[in-house]
Amino acid sequence: MANLGVDSEQEPLLGDRTPGSREWDIIETEEHYKSRWRSIRILYLTMFLSSVGFSIVIMSIWPYLQKIDQTADASFLGWVIASYSLGQMVASPIFGLWSNYRPRKEPLIVSIFISVAANCLYAYVHVPASHNKYYMLAARGLVGFGAGNVAVIRSYIAGATSLQERTSSMANTSACQALGFILGPASTDEVQVPQENIDQVAVVATNILFFVILFIFALFETIVTPLTMDMYAWTREQAVLYDGIILAALGVEAVIIFMGIKLLSKKIGERALLLGGLIIIWVGFFVLLPWGNQFPKIQWEDLHNNSIPNTTFGEIIITLWKSPREDHSEEPTGCPVEQAWCLYTPMIHLAQFLISAVLIGIGYPSCNVMSYTLYSKILGPNPQGVYMGWLTASGSAARILGPVFISQVYTAWGPRWAFSLVCGMVVLTVTLLGVVYRRLIAFSVRHGRIQE
């Protein structure tokens, strides 16, 4: 009897299926329905709290890093942010595989303990006398490792949601089988489900699409704080406050998008919404390109970009020589002169930035949820733990490379080159989506069980 709970947590969510049978048509009892949704809501809360923690930290990483270690620059910021996703990328397949063979509670509990310990380390990275930036790097990596539990959560929710769709459309069948869920009642039978063929091309393509979508948003949230501090001469406190408000507004916008996208997807389909979201993202980054003849404030006082072409070499030297003798009780603001592009790249107007943020805030959640939905439908009723682990790993790889890419390109060449390259990347992604468009269909449609 002790193994019944373990077996129930390991068994596939959609029950037993044998070749030639129709036991994939399932009717669930009221007890299992309530248990399933109780589990789903708990996991929703887990993901919500994890996202809240991530959002709180992401806006303050750059000011915090500058405060604890003066040797850290914008390039190192990219590595700090990427370390979170590196840890998540390593952990996701491990936790996903673990959940396929053991109760899902085990990887969830272990990952939560890792996250708590890592966040405690992050809170005290200012204590050591030196090398503080490397302690922060390690702390963020461990936090990301703990966040690898998202693979387990997604695989469970994906399977349970697929079950709900099946039960509503196949209620007239007589096949009935008890299912085991996390925190739910145990089944008395051990069920082994044979794997069915999955379109691997569609799986790989969806992973690539998911990678690009996460890559783009990761670089956007990474560059928001340095960009606004450079363009609008905001202090660290102002950047954390104003950028936090902007991202909070984008979060509200995303919630509204999520509420409306379900109804919209029934009318035009997930693939069309994914394509539309990518186009909106492209427009958002195109709007973000610098233009005009107004330049950002240079970080040294009295050294203005308007006077640079007409200023003599001697005047510049005198200005720089005087600057150390001035009162430094107030932190310097503006675009650092070490970034050569600050001298010749037009500033990005605040209205420009806000319009871009709104567009990206519309496109990103649409693409994110549609790519995830398509992936789950492509996999169908097969056990999804490992597959969801790889999807999460691809997203984590994007969150590793995105911050590193944007921090390096932005520091060296400025926003014009950085955002132009992003626009080109989105065009290539739209092209890929067009090539595989007809293959991104549900498992049940591909196998002729239902019509698209």
**Domain annotation covers residue 2:** no
**Domain annotation covers residue 338:** yes
3 state SS of 339:
coil
pLDDT surpassing 90 at residue 26? no
Same domain, 84 and 176: yes
Average pLDDT over residues 21-45: 68
Average pLDDT over residues 156-183: 39
**Domain annotation covers residue 409:** yes
**Domain annotation covers residue 137:** yes
Same domain, 181 and 211: no
Same domain, 350 and 263: yes
pLDDT surpassing 80 at residue 39? no
Same domain, 242 and 182: no
The pLDDT of residue 328 is 44
pTM of the model: 0.67
Q: Say which residues have a Cβ less than 8 Å from residue 296's Cβ, sequence separation at least 6.
A: 230, 231, 232, 233, 305, 334, 335, 342, 345, 347
Q: Say which residues have a Cβ less than 8 Å from residue 73's Cβ, sequence separation at least 6.
A: 411
**Domain annotation covers residue 87:** yes
Same domain, 133 and 279: no
| Chain segment 294-327, per-residue pLDDT in tens | 898 887 644 444 444 444 444 444 444 444 444 4
Same domain, 261 and 165: no
The pLDDT of residue 185 is 32
**Domain annotation covers residue 326:** no
Report the distance separating Cα 160 and Cα 384, nearest Å: 11
Q: Of 141, 156, 186, which marks where a domain is finished? A: 186
pLDDT surpassing 60 at residue 189? no
Q: Which residue has the higher pLDDT, 199 or 53?
A: 199
Same domain, 149 and 250: no
Same domain, 99 and 35: yes
Per DSSP, what are the bridge partners of residue 335? 298
Q: Which residue has the higher pLDDT, 414 or 390?
A: 414
**Domain annotation covers residue 9:** no
Closest CA to 380 of 212, 207, 185, 193: 193
Q: Of 131, 160, 186, which marks where a domain is finished? A: 186
Same domain, 282 and 381: yes
Q: Which residue has the higher pLDDT, 33 or 250?
A: 250
Number of domains in the chain: 2
Q: Which residue has the higher pLDDT, 141 or 96?
A: 141
Same domain, 263 and 224: yes
Same domain, 432 and 349: yes
**Domain annotation covers residue 69:** yes
| Chain segment 146-165, per-residue pLDDT in tens | 888 777 777 666 655 544 44
Confidence band of 276 (pLDDT split at 50, 70, 90): very high
Q: Are 219 and 77 in contact (CB under 8 A)?
A: no
Query: In the structure encoding, which two tokens stand for residue 405, read together?
Result: 């890419």
> 63-86 as b/e, with b when 16 or more CB fall inside 10 Å?
bbbbebbeebebebbbbbbbbbbb
Q: Of 156, 186, 216, which marks where a domain is finished? A: 186
Average pLDDT over residues 394-414: 87
* CATH code of the domain covering residue 429: 1.20.1250.20
Same domain, 338 and 440: yes
Residue range(s) defining the domain that contains residue 275: 200-298+334-447
Q: Say which residues have a Cβ less than 8 Å from residue 251's Cβ, sequence separation at least 6.
A: 55
State phi, psi for 335 to the nearest 5 degrees.
-85, 120
Count helices and strands (H / E) in the chain.
15, 0
Q: Percent of the chain, pLDDT > 70?
A: 75
Q: Say which residues have a Cβ less than 8 Å from residue 228's Cβ, sequence separation at least 6.
A: 234, 239, 242, 243, 353
